Amino acid sequence: MLSSTISANTEESVYRGINKVNYTSNLNINEPSLNSTVPIFRVLNDVGDISNNCKSIIIPENNDLIKMYKSMVLLSIMDKILYESQRQGRISFYMTNEGEEAAQIGSAAGLNSNDLVYGQYREAGVLLFRGFAPEQFMNQCFGNVDDLGKGKQMPVHYGSKNLNFVTLSSPLTTQLPQAVGSAYSFKRSKVNRCTIVYFGEGASSEGDAHAAFNFASTLDCPIIFFCRNNGYAISTPANEQYRGDGIVSHGPGYGIATIRVDGNDILAVYNAVLKAREYVMTHTRPLLLEAMTYRRGHHSTSDDSTAYRSKDEIKQWSIKNPIIRFKQLLEKNNLWNNQNDVEYEKETKKQLMQSFAIASKKNKPNWREMFNDVYHEIPNSLFAACIEMLKALEGKGKEIFFKIIHDAYEKELVPKDFEKCLLIPLPKKKKSEKCEDHKTISLITHSSKILTNTIYKRIEAKINVNLEEDQFGCDVITDKRSKSWEEANIEKRVRQGCNLSSTLFNLYIENTLKQLREDEFGGIKINGMQAGREQMNSLEDHISQYSDHYPKQ
Amino acid sequence: MHSTINKYSLVCHTTKNILCGCLKRHSSHFVYHPEPISNELGKTSKKNMYQAINNAMDLVLSKDSNSVVFGEDVGFGGVFRCTSGLRERYGKDRVFNTPLCEQGIVGFGIGLAVAGTTAIAEIQFADYMFPALDQLVNEAAKYRYRSGNLFDCGKLTVRTPCSAVGHGGLYHSQSPESFYAHAPGLKIVMPRSALTAKGLLLSCIRDPNPCIFFEPKIMYRLAVDDVPDDDYELPLEKAEVLIEGRDITLIGWGTQVHVLLEVAEIANKDFGISCEVIDLVTILPWDKQTVANSVKKTGRAIVSHEAPLTGGFGAEISASIQEDCFLHLESPIRRVTGYDTPFPHVFEQFYLPNKWKCLQAIKELVNY
């Protein structure tokens, strides 16, 4: 048997793949050390006391502490309202942030406001803390006319350019390599910005996570990878997602610095992110931060988590509610009390319900929005598609239109849209510059064109049977039955392009002709000659010339 | 730029003589038709396609200080030499290698573009771009739409070599343009020559939409044009009628344009059939109007591409032609394409839609 000796000599590497060489004669299998785990940094214990061992931590100013607390409460109330509204069928989908309020608000507080945030989908608190108003969240959930995303995405896919929060997408982990790219851009332009990208422990299994860690490390990008390890990816528990020591253990493999933090301790998260930010900016290196927390709510409104976890488990984590933990600290420092809580909750609920009511009543964006923003400019093919869609409205469109007309009839109110017109100034002479040198035609809107056309179709049959034969130039008249038409009152001139213009004219002139016919000695004087009804040519243009001479007027 | 068949036939013979020696190894299935020499865009110099592409990136890097070029092996000049000399000129923070990871390259590029950097990504082979399909289809294509125009990645251009090269086999020969053509929001462009490669790449880089720029790799060295030295852009979404004709319209893009140009010459010379040849140039969004106008005139159409038949972009064009030109058609629309097999190595010459297959189709349609 050969004796083995251990060489402890470490030398410069001849291999491209490693930095140092350390040969050994021992054939060892390098077992992962499953028993040792990276410790979790925390500031507050479960009852909200700051640990005595915590050194050089930063406690925010009182006002900031209260702002952080209020944000957590606001987030949880907003969650309840929107969750319930989904249950009532008022919005299509929702995802709560329950249990992860501290991880979200604490990290948001530790960043600079111009640091770019890439989220997964459970980071509403970050956006809220940055100043996204509750009604903006609700506008998005309703996809109404004021939704910044213009109604394109499912609820909770928020985004805000002003608040440096990149609009979310549903595919998991795609945001990670993108965040690395943005960080590289900031590094090059030396703008003192970093990016932070949020993701879950489930998302860490995607290939994009590997890509992102590796790119960030090899390309020296100032980025904070913020993993919310909340125990579940929908129903899959974390221990079926990986076998290593959580997500933080990925760091060393990529040569990335790491921090593991108690995600339910807002002060720990805040301090960890402050420190992480300082690290990534001064070293121009990435940092992987793992916040240990628990998703107390269901994955989404499409999920019932009691199907895969016990109520006891959830209850156990309710005791570790990060909001209560933080509140205890504030109470002990006389910054907050139960009375404040009751009042703040009441006021917040009231305001949120108002915002909700307003957002729910807002219109949806214009349907044409569907074709916008596919490209920077609308391509020809989409113009064509737009026209095709209008044509195909036949069935549904008819129903909607019927309702509009019916309402207008019942309420005796024509919708405002219909009253609009387009005034086109026509110059009376060349180079007309002044207002009075123009005459105008007023073009009818498309909606009123549809309305007038509809009215025309409805009265067409009746008019035709009531017109005398001599209006042959205007329409086909065969049947002469009861003459029930009263004088048509035209209060205003019709507009250019109105489908009713010729019909209204026919009605008006028919009445005139009718009186002529009944008046034995009547007629029109043309050039001093009496023109009887026999000589009448009822073509519109001729009648309009004659009408000035109508003797009775 | 192109109007007569004569220009092409003249240059084509000389090129054939010059190139036939070096083409033997690849036994190329087409004859390169150089772009007609023109001084319209200023002084020109002889460049092959990789040099023209290199030149385009050089111009962008020199003019736009917030632009970067990256991808696998890009630093030393790229496996096809498209980025050679750029790192030396612009520094390794602007022209750099990335880890070997396509989804990372495209995702990283999107993020650069979102933050305002002009991102020119190289995917070493189009055959290897599929790991990035998610980033391209779900992310790049939808960025503007899903954010209501708050964010976009229009400053991203992904360059990638594609198509047959004579010996590439399954995984160095594919023409996967139609996969990406199903993702509204992307612009997909394929040049046919050195001259168009430079102008179109510059357009793609500066276009405010994410673009995939497919470079037919067989032309990197083979396609030599008198390429204008200046900065110029060629229009995207615009097909180009290269030869006007009366009897039949031939539509292709990339390398296949040269097959069709030769086919048009033979059809004219040997059979007196007048072919109109269209280079589609942009696959998405494509120029329906130019194609429809042509087919309404000729009454017949052949679409030809290297990619497999089923679900190829030829299917889209054929369907569109029959919708727009039904009463003008004298014969069915024909697709002459690669077969519904993987791209085979030693059978490449049988697989490709070469001039004889196209010619046969023309004869059948004209006598239909």
Q: Does A157 touch chain B (CB under 8 A)?
A: yes
Q: Are the beta carbons of A171 and B139 separated by less than 8 Å?
A: yes
pLDDT score, position A131: 98
Among B228, B261, B295, the domain boundary falls at B228
| One domain, residues B207 and B244 | no
Q: Which amino acid appears at position A130 of this protein?
A: R
Q: Are the beta carbons of A149 and B112 separated by less than 8 Å?
A: no
pLDDT score, position A423: 76
C-beta separation of A258 from A251 below 8 A: yes
| B113: nearest Cα among B67, B159, B63, B59 | B67
How far is it, in rounded angstroms, from Cα A502 to Cα B225? Answer: 65
- Residue B9: inside a domain: no
* Least confident interval from A93-107, A190-204, A445-459: A445-459
Higher pLDDT, A444 or A125: A125
- Residue B15: inside a domain: no
pLDDT band at A410 (very low <50, low <70, confident <90, very high): confident
| One domain, residues B179 and B223 | yes
Query: At B82, phi and psi to the nearest 5?
Result: -65, -25
- Residue B25: inside a domain: no
- Indicate the domain borders of chain A: 62-365, 420-512
| One domain, residues B244 and B223 | no
Among B205, B228, B251, the domain boundary falls at B228
| One domain, residues B115 and B189 | yes
Q: Please, what is the Cα angle at B97 between B134 and B199, to 5 degrees?
A: 75
Identify the three-state secondary structure at position A195. strand
**HEC secondary structure over chain B:** CCCCHHHHHHHHHHHHHHHHHHHCCCCCCCCCCCCCCCCCCCCEEEEEHHHHHHHHHHHHHHHCCCEEEEECCCCCCCCCCCCCCHHHHHCCCCEEECCCCHHHHHHHHHHHHHCCCEEEEECCCHHHCHHHHHHHHHHHHHHHHHCCCCCCCCCEEEEEEECCCCCCHHHCCCCCHHHHCCCECEEEECCCCHHHHHHHHHHHHHCCCCEEEEEECCHHHHCEEEEECCCCCCCCCCCEEEECCCCEEEEECCCHHHHHHHHHHHHHHHHCCCEEEEECCEEECCCHHHHHHHHHHHCCEEEEEEEECCCCHHHHHHHHHHHHHHHHCCCCCEEEEECCCCCCCCCHHHHCCCHHHHHHHHHHHHCC
Write down the pTM of the prediction: 0.82
Question: Which of these is catalytic: B172, B215, B265, B306?
Answer: B172
Among B197, B228, B259, the domain boundary falls at B228
Of B104, B109, B146, the CB nearest to A167: B146
Higher pLDDT, A52 or A182: A182
CATH of the domain at B148: 3.40.50.970
DSSP character at residue A524: E
- Residue B17: inside a domain: no
Q: Does A60 touch chain B (CB under 8 A)?
A: no
How far is it, in rounded angstroms, from Cα B209 to Cα A4? Answer: 63
Q: Does A253 touch chain B (CB under 8 A)?
A: no
| One domain, residues B313 and B344 | yes
| One domain, residues B157 and B290 | no
pLDDT in tens, A484-537: 334 444 445 566 667 677 777 777 777 777 776 666 555 555 555 555 545 444
Q: Are the beta carbons of A183 and B111 separated by less than 8 Å?
A: yes
Q: Classify A480 in phi/psi space as left (phi over 0), alpha (psi -120 to 50) or beta.
A: beta
How far is it, in rounded angstroms, from Cα B281 to Cα B200? Answer: 9
- Residue B207: inside a domain: yes
Higher pLDDT, A149 or A409: A149
Give the alpha-carbon dihedral of A303, A308, A313, A318, to 10 degrees: 0
pLDDT score, position A428: 81
List of chain B residues with pLDDT < 70: 1-27
Identify the three-state secondary structure at position A439. strand
| One domain, residues B276 and B211 | no
Return the exposure string of B318-330: e unless at least 16 CB atoms fall within 10 Å of the residue's CB, then b. bebbeeebeeebe
Q: Are the beta carbons of A376 and B93 separated by less than 8 Å?
A: no
What's the whole-number average pLDDT of chain B?
94
Q: Are the beta carbons of A215 and B112 separated by less than 8 Å?
A: no
Average pLDDT over residues A362-382: 93
| One domain, residues B214 and B165 | yes
Beta-carbon pairs below 8 A across chains A and B: 158
Of B66, B68, B145, the CB nearest to A374: B145
Sign, CA torsion B199/B200/B206/B207: positive
Name the closest residue on chain B to residue A210, using Cα atoms.
B104
Q: Does A378 touch chain B (CB under 8 A)?
A: no
- Residue B130: inside a domain: yes
Q: Which domain holds residue B317?
A: 240-367
| B110: nearest Cα among A174, A113, A169 | A174
pLDDT in tens, A291-302: 999 999 999 999
| One domain, residues B117 and B140 | yes
pLDDT in tens, B100-117: 999 999 999 999 999 999
| One domain, residues B108 and B257 | no
Domains in chain B, number: 2
C-beta separation of A212 from A174 below 8 A: no
Work out the percent of chain A whose per-residue pLDDT is above 90. Answer: 62
How far is it, in rounded angstroms, from Cα A437 to Cα A433? Answer: 7
| One domain, residues B39 and B175 | yes
How far is it, in rounded angstroms, from Cα A413 to Cα A406? Answer: 10
| One domain, residues B130 and B222 | yes
| A301: nearest Cα among A41, A80, A21, A102 | A80
* Least confident interval from A400-409, A418-427, B182-191: A418-427
Q: What separation in angstroms does the CA of B35 have from each of B15, B118, B162?
A: 11, 29, 21
Average pLDDT over residues A31-46: 90
CATH of the domain at B313: 3.40.50.920
pLDDT score, position A181: 98
C-beta separation of B185 from A375 below 8 A: yes
pLDDT in tens, A9-36: 678 888 999 999 999 999 999 888 777 8
Identify the three-state secondary structure at position A35. coil
Question: Which of these is catalytic: A11, A84, A419, A460?
Answer: A84
Peptide bond into B228 cis (omega under 30): no
pLDDT score, position A519: 63
Q: Does B21 touch chain A (CB under 8 A)?
A: no
Q: What separation in angstroms does the CA of A22 have from each of A7, A9, A13, A18, A444?
A: 8, 6, 9, 10, 86
ipTM: 0.92
Query: At A233, phi and psi to the nearest 5?
Result: -115, 100
| A487: nearest Cα among A552, A443, A533 | A552
pLDDT score, position A531: 54
Domain A62-365 has CATH 3.40.1160.10: no
